Structures are given as structure tokens and as C-alpha cells.
Structure 1
Amino acid sequence: MSDCIYNVLFLCTGNTARSILAESILRKDGHRNFRAFSAGSQPKGTVNPFAIKVLNRLDYPTAELRSKSWEEFAGSDAPVMDFVFTVCDNAAGESCPVWPGQPMTAHWGIEDPAAVEGTDIEKEAAFVAAFRYLKNRIAAFTSLPLVSIDRLSLGTRLRDIGRIDGSTFGQDRAG
């Protein structure tokens, strides 16, 4: 891969779980070529403790993680994003800010681990599953030949990544 560093923003509604997991995974697994960020349309202001627990257990960075608004990344002083991925279906359906630089976008929806009710073991298992799904997507993304692929093909590949195992794509939203 080239020496280019790409900025990647992961979006969710609350910015407490999925987008936080994705930010941490890309920070570690893609640190040579990517800068990872996360944000929410309606940030809750805190990171889910199960997200922190799973990331710590799997030796992924947590020190700088915080729940924040996507407005931080829409201003003129924000880093220009190369890629913006929604990881929850609610954020995918919302009107996003106009991102400077016209980044490539795709929806990589997975079930919300923070919505799981039950024992702490069941909740943690949901976070581990979400971590695994996101790690697989990020591995597929970081292996793409970003320097040599045309924009149209890249868009197709990014959308295809969002449909791999664990995807909420095509699920019935009626209930």
C-alpha cells in the first residue's frame, strides 16, 4: 500500500458501542495507513462499559475513545475524511452533514450490542460478536488496493463489505 494516510469516520446514533468498536479496531489494525474516528448523530456522551471491557480484553486501544457529535467532523477545522461508514441503521437513514472533501461512503450495519438485554455474560457476548463482525469488515477494507482501484469499483466493494456476515442489510425493519 502507499504511504498515504486515509481518514475514516465511523458513524452511529449514540456513538457508544459499534462506532467506538470500529474506531478502536481500525486504530490498531490499520494504524500504518489509516486514521480512525467515530461520532454520533445524537451522542450519549459516554462509551458503553461493555465496549471498553471487550476492547481492553482483546488488547485494543481505549484511552482516547469518547462519545461525540458528528458535528465535530463537519466543520472547516476538522480533518477531511476519505471514508465515512455508518454502522447502525438509524444513522444510515439520517441526513448527515455535508462532509468536506466528498468522502466515499457505505453502510456497514450490524445489530446493536448495547440493545441486548439479559445477563452481563449475554451482553458481553453481543459486544464480542459485534467486535468480530466489525473486525472482519475492517480487515476486508484495509486489504483493498485503494491506490489502484477506480472510484466506482471502490464504492461497489465498500458496499459489498457492508453485506458480509452479521449485516443488517435487507432485514425486515417492520418490527
Structure 2
Amino acid sequence: MPDTLTLLFLCTGNSCRSQMAEGWTRHLKGDAITVCSAGIETHGLNPRAVSVMAEAGVDISGQRSQNISEFMGTDIDVVVTVCDHAHETCPLFPGGAKVVHVGFDDPPRMALDAESEEEKLDCYRKVRDEIRAFVETLPGSVTD
């Protein structure tokens, strides 16, 4: 592996989990990892994901939802799929990028049964914190 790992987080819509993972990685591991995120589709940035990341001191408001096709010509060392759908449909990358699956619950789906806005945000906070814990293990957890 090169000195700086190039990592792509992949999700279904690149609106929430992969965006939070990109933000955490840039914030916590930006000196060792070049990070980006994409989706099998693009759904735009989820405002609740932006909000809970801002609470934790990480601004992802400038990130944009991108489609995986935008990265097909890019040298990627590791693709981390963060949802089952992305893992099942992950394309092969030229150059043989390693694909690692680390699934996280879907905050929008979790929030469907929440009654208040605060309860909905708690669903996002839970996944945000789980993603942070994973990012703190990088790059070792995906290169060993």
C-alpha cells in the first residue's frame, strides 16, 4: 500500500452513512487517507446527517452526493461498502481495489418509528458514533 491510502465509502444513495464516513475520515485521518464517497445512486445530502455531524464538530455541508460511475477511472486502494445493497452491487474496479464490507444501520429507516425530531436525530447520532468508532480503526482494519 502507498503512504497515503485512497479509500472510497460506498452506499446506496450517498446521502447519509457514506457521507458521515467520508467526513469522519477527513476529520480524523486526513493525513493518512485520501477519502471520497459515492452511491450506487445519488440521493443528495441528508440534512439530518449534516446536522448531527455538525454537532460533533465535523462540517460535511460542502460534500455532494456522487455516483460510483464518477470514480471508475480513479485509482482506489480500498472500497468500504457501508450498506448491504451497495455490497451486493459493488462493481469491480480497475486495478483490483480491495472491497471491505462494514454495514451500518440506515438512520432514515431507523427514524421512521421515531415520534419527535429529537428521537429521529438520536437514530442518526447512534450511527454517526458507530461510524466514528470504525474510522478510528483505519487504516489498519482495512489493510491487514
After TM superposition, the score normalised by the length of structure 1 is 0.74
Would you say how many aligned residue pairs link Structure 1 and Structure 2? 141
- Structure 1 Cα separation of the partners of residues 17 and 86 of structure 2: 12
Percent of pairs with identical residues: 29
2:25 is paired with a residue whose SS is helix
- Structure 2 Cα separation of the partners of residues 10 and 134 of structure 1: 11
Residue 91 of structure 2 is matched in structure 1 by 97
Q: Which has the larger Rg?
A: 1
Q: Which has the higher contact order (CA 8 A, sep 6+)?
A: 2
Contact 1:3 1:33 in 2 (8 A): no
- Structure 2 Cα separation of the partners of residues 48 and 68 of structure 1: 13
Contact 2:50 2:61 in 1 (8 A): no
Matched, 1:10 2:13: no
Deviation at residue 145 of structure 1 after TM alignment:
8.6
- Structure 2 Cα separation of the partners of residues 41 and 57 of structure 1: 28
Residue 121 of structure 1 is matched in structure 2 by 118
Residue 49 of structure 2 is matched in structure 1 by 51
Residue 88 of structure 1 is matched in structure 2 by 83
After TM superposition, the score normalised by the length of structure 2 is 0.89
Unaligned stretches of 5+ residues in structure 2: none
Deviation at residue 26 of structure 1 after TM alignment:
0.2
Unaligned stretches of 5+ residues in structure 1: 155-175
Contact 1:27 1:61 in 2 (8 A): no
Contact 1:71 1:97 in 2 (8 A): no
CA 1:138–1:145 in 2, change beyond 3 Å: closer, same or farther? Answer: closer
- Structure 2 Cα separation of the partners of residues 130 and 15 of structure 1: 15
Matched, 1:65 2:59: no
> CA RMSD, aligned part only?
1.9
After the TM superposition, list the runs of 4 or more consecutive aligned residues in structure 1 that deviate by more than 6 angstroms.
none
